[in-house]
Structure 1
Amino acid sequence: GALDIAEVMECPVVATNDVRFLEKEDFEAHEARVCINEGRVLDDPRREHRYSEEQYLRSADEMLELFEDLPEALENTVEIAKRCTLEVRLGETFLPNFPIPEGFTTEAYFTQQAKAGLEARLLELFDPSA
């Protein structure tokens, strides 16, 4: 597996978890979002189940337990985390610098773009000739 390849290639391993939602209890909401995105319903027997309820953001203690047999993976993960610096100022909104066409306010332009996107998606979901 991946550990064998890392050993052969002499690559360090890190402790990770494929996070898709914040808390374990959020799994069903995540599944609902996936169904909405794919145009399916939760009880569709043909629906592919690509996610598990284990894909939540685990606590440090849970990661320690999960990787107790690979302490070097935990150490490498901590080293990577030490190199990452992010300062978040709470209570402020941070938006990307996005060019707004002349004659539009930011709100008006994004409202127009949202409506156009919604109309395009609805055309994909519902055949207008039906």
Structure 2
Amino acid sequence: FSNRRPGVRHSTFESLLLGRSSQSIASGFLRLWDSLNFKKDKEFVGISVFFFDEKVNFVIHGFTPVERANHYRPSLKEGSIVKVDHFEVARCSSMYMITDHPLLIHFISLTIIDEVITGAPEINLQSRLECSTIAK
């Protein structure tokens, strides 16, 4: 991204590396929902999210487990641009694959999510939000 803030380093989804690392992404935050285990009486197991990278036109699935859900929920605002630091990247199981992207961003105890107000990458979320609203 050419208009990122000085000192704010982030990668696109194309350059994500498997495993835990200090990499960062800046992306559009499209949607969140509670993930439930229907085999265990709809037990809450965490929060699932969609991140959008307009540069490579991809949506990627993110997940925070139940033990960190309350910590991260206030930082997750649909339609915002966020910078996410320190997370784990894993291959998405075909059983749980909900996007076309083969990887999953997993929030860990070190994960930091900040809304980017100034100097954010230019990401057109309006068309994505309209599409996801129509799909509901």
Bin for the TM-score computed over the shorter chain = under 0.3
Larger radius of gyration: 1
Specify which structure has the higher proportion of strand. Answer: 2
